[in-house]
Amino acid sequence: MLNYIARRLINMIVLLVAVSFIGFFIIQLPPGTILDVQLQKLRQMGGDVPRDQVKALELRYGVNDPFIVKYLKWVQRSAEGDFGTSYLTDQSVGERIWGRLSVSLGLSLFALIFTWLVSIPIGVYSATHRYTTPDYIVTFIQFIGLAVPGFLLALIILIFATRYFNQQVGGINSSEFMDQPMSLAKFMDMVNHLWIAVLVLAFGATAGLTRIMRANLLDVLNMQYIQTARAKGLDEAVVIWKHAVRNAIHPLVMSLGTLLPALVVGETLVAQVLSLPTIGPMYLDALRAEDMYLAGTILVMLSALLLIGNLLADLLLAWVDPRIRLE
């Protein structure tokens, strides 16, 4: 077991190095540099930048270095725990990312919990009551959940919330709490703002997982050991929850590995619509501004999250199902 984890971790490091190299290459592909973007901004504001200063900035940011030099500089600094200074705001990249990543992770975790709490019971109900009216209703809602992209759903909820409930949505806090320290009132205000985001994030994933749960359980319910369990006179609830569900839940556990990172990055558009301070919009801005150190670091971090998520899912699967041997 430990052996297995160690091998997976080594493999993960190799993959991350490759991801960082390729990712950095793609990110620096667009012509022009962060400096051009910044200079243009300065000029638009009316300021003219002397030639010497441009030279000095070029040198400082190393914009004229060849790709491989830029990459090695970035890796070296990251290895020392210094993720560089974002061109955009002159803030430490590490600090900014952690702040945003924690909001993203928090949102995604809640969305994940919601997804599981809803999709398992509904999936089970809809499988055990196949071809009844509630089953049809659930199936219908599932398809809507699959077909309506999250950001559109966010947009629609946004409209209703503003129009009919006169509620301020979007952002993470109301304006009056913006600069205040954390308090119960501020926390409640945050919950008030974020439940829509959690709901929107969870909706699509819930629809998908409910479908999977239903389909798997239907397969398992045809197995002979279920028949045996019933023939023994077991309570139907025991038959379903102890014998059937436990054997039908594998794909859900497996999807856990991809679901968390998917939720973390999937919120990019939702966050855009609801103006949430999460990692997705930050990545997008960094890409647009050609802030390659910031974008590169986020990409590698998300990739690490994905790989760790997959590993955890595999371990969890082995724990849920003792028949699975990790070699």
Partner 1 sequence: MAVDATQLPHTTATQVEDVGQIPQWQLMVRRFRKSKLSVGGMYVLIVMYAIMLFSDFLAPYEHNRLDSNYAWGPPSQVQIVDGKLSTFALKQTLDTERLQWLYVVDESNPLPIQFFVQGYEYRFLAIFPSKLHLFGVKDGFQINLLGADKDGKDVLSRLLKGSQISLTLGFVGVVISVIIGSIVGTASGYFGGAIDNMIQRVIELLRSFPDIPLFLSLAAALPQNAPVEVRFFLITIIIAVIGWTGLAREVRGKVMSYRNADYTAASVAAGGSHWHIITRHLIPNSLSHIIVVGTLAIPAAIGSETALSFLGLGILPPAVSWGVMVRDAQTIEAITTYPWMLLPVLVLIITVLSFYLLGDGIRDAVDPYA
* Burial of residue 210, with CB atoms counted within 10 A of its CB: 0-12 exposed, 13-18 middle, 19 or more buried: buried
| Min CB(16)–partner 1 separation in Å | 7
Q: How far apart are CA 189 and CA 76, in angstroms?
A: 42
DSSP sequence for 58-74? HHHHTTTS-HHHHHHHH
**Phi and psi (nearest 5°) for 5?**
-60, -40
Neighbours of 273 (CB within 10 A): 21
In the complex, the smallest distance separating the C-beta of residue 120 from partner 1, rounded to whole angstroms, is 21
Contact flag: residue 147 with partner 1 (CB under 8 A): yes
Return d(Cα 316, Cα 257) in angstroms, integer.
10
How many chain residues bind partner 1 (CB under 8 A)? Answer: 45
Which of 63, 155 has the CB closer to partner 1? 155
Q: Which is nearer to partner 1, 102 or 162 (CB)?
A: 162
As a whole number of angstroms, the distance between CA 267 and CA 108 comes to 9
Q: Is 257 in the site for partner 1 (CB under 8 A)?
A: no
The smaller minimum CB distance to partner 1, of residues 169 and 244, is found at 169
Contact range with partner 1 by CB under 8 A, out of 19-27, 108-116, 233-241, 317-325: 19-27
Q: Is 29 exposed, middle or buried (0-12, 13-18, 19+ CB in 10 A)?
A: exposed
Judged by CB under 8 A, the residue of 6, 13, 30, 235 near partner 1 is 30
Enumerate binding residues for partner 1 (CB under 8 A).
Answer: 15-16, 18-19, 22-23, 26-27, 29-30, 143-144, 146-149, 151-152, 155, 158-159, 162-163, 261-262, 264-266, 268-269, 272-273, 280, 283-284, 287-288, 295, 298-299, 302-303, 305-307
